Amino acid sequence: MRISKKTEYAVHSVLYITFFKDRTVLLDELAAQGISREYLAKVMRLLTKSGILKSSVGVNGGYVLARSADEITLEDIFNAVEGDAFYKCESRSRKCGLAGKCGLTEAFNAARGMFLGELRKCRISDMLGKSVSDGSWLKKMNPVV
Amino acid sequence: MRISKKTEYAVHSVLYITFFKDRTVLLDELAAQGISREYLAKVMRLLTKSGILKSSVGVNGGYVLARSADEITLEDIFNAVEGDAFYKCESRSRKCGLAGKCGLTEAFNAARGMFLGELRKCRISDMLGKSVSDGSWLKKMNPVV
DNA sequence: GAGAGGATACTCGGATAGATGCTGTCCGAGTAACTGGGG
DNA sequence: CCCCAGTTACTCGGACAGCATCTATCCGAGTATCCTCTC
């Protein structure tokens, strides 16, 4: 069980957009972190479709937060990017006599609930405030202003 | 993020071995649940190497529990099978200014801790007791006696 | 009856291959703002 | 001054390829027990 790079890309991009929340952010800016531009575009689309970001096409287009940074949690981003594929009992398609009665699905769902609950405590606003309060690295790599 | 079939195979096999804990269990018996025999053998080796099961080769060989069923939790099996690959921050290999300071690793580790903690509450003995108390399905599919 | 040696019944573990999902690339389509020319 | 068409600057989204991991298969090697033969 592992977390894909997509999630890291998504979180860092949302942090970036949050820091420059008074303007739209370009895909090229985000890709300048060292992420494949076209691949990142797909990740951004996931975030847009799930209502975390708003995008606008055309000149002066780009991305902005769809809601306040303290209303966005790691859980939101995780769900948007990783989807909800997790565990599906396959015992029925085998000759397994347990046939879903072993309680494994319930146990894993409970554990997943605890996992998501912990992520829900992490607000993007807090993450930005803690780690990059002055935003020096962001300003340095910002090609626009 | 998804849980592999290996874990399901492992849990069901450990449940089976627990039910017949007064004798050794053959790989063929376990594979009779509808699992590829050779693939299951690799999963069993993971469980053996991590000290959940004991195996013996040769005639009358097979698998038995290495310790009491109430000292084996889902967390033990999960760790044995899924390993500990989970999340590794890649930002240093990119041009990312955060360079591991964004707190994402800490957040995911905390969430993983909660996940494992929930699995730790699940003892194999409880799972067997709850779901298959009479063991009818096990007796039915048991080719030995 | 006892010991030796072969047969048997198992797991171990490496090599291999197909399936699936992750990661990354390419490119045309669509859309909105800007620009410049003609009325 | 205004409108319209063309240009420009973006995102959208499908198609595709490379790669890692999961899943499965095959098979020889190793090992412990059992059986049989011989003395």
pLDDT digits (tens, 9 = 90+) for A76-121: 999 999 988 899 888 777 877 776 688 999 999 999 999 999 999 9
DSSP-derived 3-state class of residue A53: strand
Closest nucleotide to B39's CA, by C1' atom?
Answer: D24
Residue nearest to nucleotide D33 (CA to C1'): B59
Q: What is the pLDDT of residue B139?
A: 56
Would you place residue A140 in the very low, low, confident or very high pLDDT band (cuts 50, 70, 90)?
Answer: low
Rounded CA-CA distance A143/A30 in Å is 10
Amino acid at A28: D
Q: What is the pLDDT of residue B130?
A: 77
C-alpha to C-alpha distances, B118 to A24, A111, A115, B114, nearest whole angstrom: 41, 5, 9, 6
Query: What residue numbers bound the domain in which A93 lies?
Result: 5-141
Pairing of strands B53-56, A62-65: unpaired
pLDDT digits 0-9 by tens, A52-73: 999 999 999 999 999 999 999 9
Q: What is the pLDDT of residue B69?
A: 96
Mean model confidence pLDDT for chain B: 89
Q: Give me the residue from A12, A74, A90 closest to B96, CB to CB.
A: A12
Q: What is the pLDDT of residue B92?
A: 77
Measured between beta carbons, which residues in chain B are less than 8 angstroms from residue A3? Answer: 1, 86-87, 108
Q: What is the pLDDT of residue B132?
A: 59
Q: What is the pLDDT of residue A145?
A: 37
Q: How many domains does chain A have?
A: 1
User: Low-confidence residues of chain B, pLDDT below 50?
Assistant: 143-145
Output the domain CATH number for residue A113: 1.10.10.10
Q: Give me the residue from A32, A82, A132 closest to B98, CB to CB.
A: A132
CA B56 to C1' D32, in angstroms, rounded, equals: 8
